[in-house]
Amino acid sequence: MALDAVSHGMAVLVLLAGAAAMAWPGAAKSAVPASCVPWLLGAVMFGMGLSLRGRDFALVLRRPRDVAIGVAAQFICMPLIAWALSKALNLPPELALGVILVGACPGGTASNVIAYLATGDVALSVTMTSCSTLLAPFATPAIVWLLAGESVGVDAAAMFVSIVKIVIVPVVVGVAANELLPLFAARVRRAMPAFSSVVVAVIVAGVVAAGAERIRATAGLVALAVVLHNGLGLALGWCVGRLFRMDAARRRTLAIEVGMQNSGLAVSLAAIHFASMPLAAVPGALFSVWHNVSGAVFANLCARRSSPPLSDTIPPTA
């Protein structure tokens, strides 16, 4: 079906949107003003909420160790990798901030689908994404302030408010709609993966258009930082799983949850709080493309070496 084609082709769609924005930045900038970005991401997060129910959080009580390890790895590994890369690659302050913003964000919503395709522990993936998302208003501003506050001005309190508005409120409304209006939620949920793919592509187009000239000058450096950040995140997530003697399904899930970030949130935060530093949004935009490509490759490799998926229902949020 058309909706499935759009949702599964997210990486291609985002890549095409970015290329179009580079070719016609003026048109893309007019079509996607920066003020629209938070609203667009809020719509995506509402879709994530529609895919959740109260019982999805019960895993925290049944398997607190697994969830705690995963969420801790999420908010420790990726920020530290981002900081280390910014130093090792001698990134300019704007790009360093952008990479750190990506690292400080919670897990990406596409990780649940990738975990399913990789025959991972889908329930753990959904719970980790949900918990890291709910912790983001506290964790993300604090991490950005700690790692980038010396080089750029970081208003942690204002960032907290932004994340609550962009992420928490839409997710909570989505969960409430799922519980109170199940028929409505079921109808809307069916279209949300495709809708989310289109929205992320639109966000990326707007970000790329805003900094097209400077992106051309730094494209190689940003791409290197993004690929290394994502790859090291996948590898470290896997290693953390081995360190804590998790089985193969949980190790795959941990790798995916740590390596795949809510890069759309990083783009939104850069657009809202660092508008004078347009390059800060570029790592998040490129990460949106790359982590879907690398995640799909990782899932394919895992699926070839394992048994059938632990869940026979693909999570509806992408």
The domain spans of the chain are 11-304
Q: Of 56-60, 203-207, 224-228, which has the strongest mean pLDDT?
A: 224-228
pLDDT score of 291 more than 80: yes
- 49-58, 64-73, 123-132, 146-155: which is most confident: 64-73
Amino acid sitting at position 317: T
User: Comparing 1-10, 16-25, 221-230, 244-253, which segment has the lowest mean pLDDT?
Assistant: 1-10
Q: From CA 248, how far away is CA 244, in angstroms rounded?
A: 12
Fold observed for domain 11-304: Na+/H+ antiporter like fold (1.20.1530)
- Residue 190: pLDDT above 50? yes
Local confidence band at 126 (pLDDT 50, 70, 90 cut-offs): confident
> Rounded mean pLDDT of 305-316?
51
| Cα angle value 68/74/76 (rounded, 5°) | 95
Query: Which band of pLDDT confidence, cut at 50, 70 and 90, is reported for residue 235?
Result: very high
Q: How big is the CA angle at 168 (ends 142 and 228), to the nearest 5 degrees?
A: 55
CA–CA gap between residue 317 and residue 311 (Å, rounded): 15
Average pLDDT over residues 15-28: 82
H helices present in the chain, as ranges: 2-8, 10-23, 25-31, 37-50, 59-62, 64-88, 93-104, 111-117, 122-148, 156-163, 169-180, 182-210, 212-243, 248-259, 263-273, 282-304
pTM of this prediction?
0.83
Q: Is the pLDDT of residue 314 over 70?
A: no
Measuring CA to CA, how many Å separate 127 from each of 48, 133, 184, 302?
12, 10, 23, 21
309 beta partners? none
Give the residue from 141, 121, 113 showing the smallest Cα distance to 47: 113
